[in-house]
Structure 1
Amino acid sequence: MDVVTIGESMVVFTPTSDGFMRNATQFTKKIGGAESNVAIGLARLGHQAGWISKLGDDEFGKAILASLKGENVDVSNVTFDKQAPTGIYFKEPRRQNNMRVYYYRKGSAASKLTPSDLDNGYLSKAKYLHITGITPALSDSCKETIFEAIKLAKSNGSTIVFDPNLRTKLWDEKTARATLLEIAAEADIILPGVAEGEFLFGESDPLKLGQLFLNHGASVVVMKMGAEGAYYFTEKESALIPGFPVKQVVDPVGAGDGFAAGFLSGLIDGLELSKAVERANAVGALVTMVNGDVDGLPERDEVEQVISKNGEDVVR
């Protein structure tokens, strides 16, 4: 197994019309969730990805499981909960480049994850453990589960990749900051945005933030800079890898997950860091051009074409 990730996937409803959701009469139904997005992204790029979660024993849960199976994601460690529902969230496309998101996930099946749901034999097969700051925010038991997964990954020699993925609506700032910093100290690779770095360290300069994350324990830091691209930092080197400009962003949700999938793909393929970040930038850009969290996740030939043409196909 190349990567195992742990987290919640939800059903996503989006109005077919822009503007206030209160006026919407029709919605599309899709799926989304940071960790399952990454797993799907990796599978489309030709890698083996496993996803650990709980789903409600309901039609939405069954739809999510079928979708992940159809994407060739390993779901052998996903279970159903008969007492709790599958989470839901709504996207509200107010106007161009203005997307609001509303979550209905409190008490969801995924929030019932516990350390006993982890199979060390399964985790030990993974070269990389991918985690985000969303899962520990769902409940105390989810937080315990993530720290147990980190402990097991370390004992197995797996590389821990952490995307802070800050969600201030899910928990109070003090708890969020303390927990994310604790996870960051355990991670080998961190994929923050500047806003997340500022939240954690009170610093907005990406160069200073890169060093702060390294000092905190990471061996590699990749700082996402949106359309500008991304910096990577190690103790020996750092550089800004330019992004691929997109003429019109259709849906920005999921771009960071695509970035993570692209970067992990590069690592799995043994690329040097600069090339892995370049692949991440290309995947993230392609995701923004399509509606839906996972719909824009590309296959390998699309990514290679964009990179070889220096982003021409993305700009259009």
Structure 2
Amino acid sequence: MDVVTIGETMVLFTPNSAGYMRHANQFSMKFGGAETNVAIGLSRLGHKAGWVSKVGNDEFGKAVVAFIKGEGVDVSQVKVDLKRPTGVYFKELRRTSDVRVYYYRKDSAASGLTPEDLNEEYIAGSKFLHITGITPALSDSCASTVLEAIKLAKENGVQVVFDPNLRRKLWSEEKARQVLLELASLADIVLPGIDEGKFMFNETDPQKIANCFINNGSAKVVVKLGAEGAAFFTNETSGVIPGYPVDQVVDPVGAGDGFAAGLLSGLLNGLNLPDAVKRGNAVGALVTMVEGDVEGLPEPDEIEALMNSKGEDVER
């Protein structure tokens, strides 16, 4: 296994028309979850990704697992909770610049994850463990599960990649800051955005954000800059990789997960950090051009076409 990821994937309902959701009378059913967005992105790029989670014993849970398995992601570590339901959320596209998300995931099956649900051999057999700040926000048992997964990864020489992926609606700011800082301190690679840097350290400058993460214990930090690209930092080097221009952003949700998939793909293929970041930028840009969390995740030829159309060097 190349990458193992842990977290909740839900059924996503999106109105077939733009505007206020209260006026919608038809919805499309899709699927979304930060961790499986990354896993599917990796699978489409030819890597082996596995997903650890729980779903409800319901039609939604069966649909989620079937979809993700159909995308080539290993679901052997997904368990069925006989008492809790599969989570659901709605995405309201009021206009291109105003996308709102509403979660119905309290006491969901995935929120019942415990450390006992982890298989050490499964994690030990991977190259990277990908985690986000969403999973520990679901419950105390989920937080314990993530910490145990990191412990198992470190004991077995597996690199830990952490995307803070702040979700303010899920927990208090104090608890979120405390847990995210702890997880970041244990990660080998951290992938924050500017908003997360401001939330965690009250900094908005990429260099200062990276310094804070490195001082907190992270070896490598990649700060996502949206349309501007991303900046990478280690103790030895740093640089900015420009983003790829997008004629029209159709749906920005999922771009950060696409970036993570592209970055991990590059590292798995032996690229250096700047080139891996460049691949991440390309995947993130392509994701924004298609509606849906995973529908825009590209295959290798699409990435090559975009990257060959605009070869940007590192700005140092």
TM-score category of the 2 structures, normalised to the smaller one: over 0.9
Q: Aligned-pair distance for 1:311?
A: 7.5
Q: Tell me, in whole angstroms, the C-alpha distance in 2 between the residues paired with 1:131 and 1:276.
A: 18
Q: Find runs of 4+ consecutive structure 1 residues off by over 2 angstroms.
A: none
The 5 Å alignment of 1:20-35 reads 20-35=20-35
The one-letter amino acid of 2:115's match is P
The 5 Å alignment of 1:64-79 reads 64-79=64-79
2:126 aligns with: 126
Deviations 1:132-186 (A, max 9, x none): 0000000000000000001100001100000000001000000000000000000
Unaligned runs of 5+ in 2: none
Q: Tell me, in whole angstroms, the C-alpha distance in 1 between the residues paired with 2:60 and 2:146.
A: 24
The 5 Å alignment of 1:104-143 reads 104-143=104-143
Deviations 1:70-99 (A, max 9, x none): 111010000111100000000001112210
The one-letter amino acid of 2:66's match is A
Deviations 1:93-133 (A, max 9, x none): 11122100000000100000000000001111011000000
Does the alignment pair 1:289 with 2:303?
A: no
1:154 aligns with: 154
Q: Tell me, in whole angstroms, the C-alpha distance in 2 between the residues paired with 1:148 and 1:273.
A: 27
The one-letter amino acid of 1:287's match is V
Q: What TM-score do you get using the length of structure 1 for normalisation?
A: 0.98
Unaligned runs of 5+ in 1: none
Q: Aligned-pair distance for 1:245?
A: 1.1
Q: Tell me, in whole angstroms, the C-alpha distance in 1 between the residues paired with 2:68 and 2:203.
A: 38
- RMSD (CA atoms): 1.0
Q: Per the alignment, do residues 290 and 173 of structure 1 end up closer, same or farther by CA in structure 2, a change over 3 Å counting? A: same
CA contact (8 A) 1:221 1:234 kept: yes
Q: Tell me, in whole angstroms, the C-alpha distance in 2 between the residues paired with 1:96 and 1:5.
A: 30
Q: Aligned-pair distance for 1:304?
A: 1.1
Q: Tell me, in whole angstroms, the C-alpha distance in 1 between the residues paired with 2:272 and 2:140.
A: 38
Q: Tell me, in whole angstroms, the C-alpha distance in 2 between the residues paired with 1:86 and 1:170.
A: 17
2:10 aligns with: 10
The one-letter amino acid of 1:234's match is T
Residue-pair matches, total: 312
Deviations 1:223-245 (A, max 9, x none): 00000000000101110000001
1:241 aligns with: 241
Q: Tell me, in whole angstroms, the C-alpha distance in 2 between the residues paired with 1:195 and 1:224.
A: 10
Q: Aligned-pair distance for 1:207?
A: 1.2
Deviations 1:227-268 (A, max 9, x none): 000000010111000000111110011000000000000000
Q: Tell me, in whole angstroms, the C-alpha distance in 2 between the residues paired with 1:140 and 1:215.
A: 27
Q: Per the alignment, do residues 240 and 73 of structure 1 end up closer, same or farther by CA in structure 2, a change over 3 Å counting? A: same
The 5 Å alignment of 1:61-210 reads 61-210=61-210
The one-letter amino acid of 1:194's match is I
Q: Per the alignment, do residues 311 and 109 of structure 1 end up closer, same or farther by CA in structure 2, a change over 3 Å counting? A: farther
User: Could you tell me the percent identity over the aligned residues?
Assistant: 66
The one-letter amino acid of 1:47's match is H
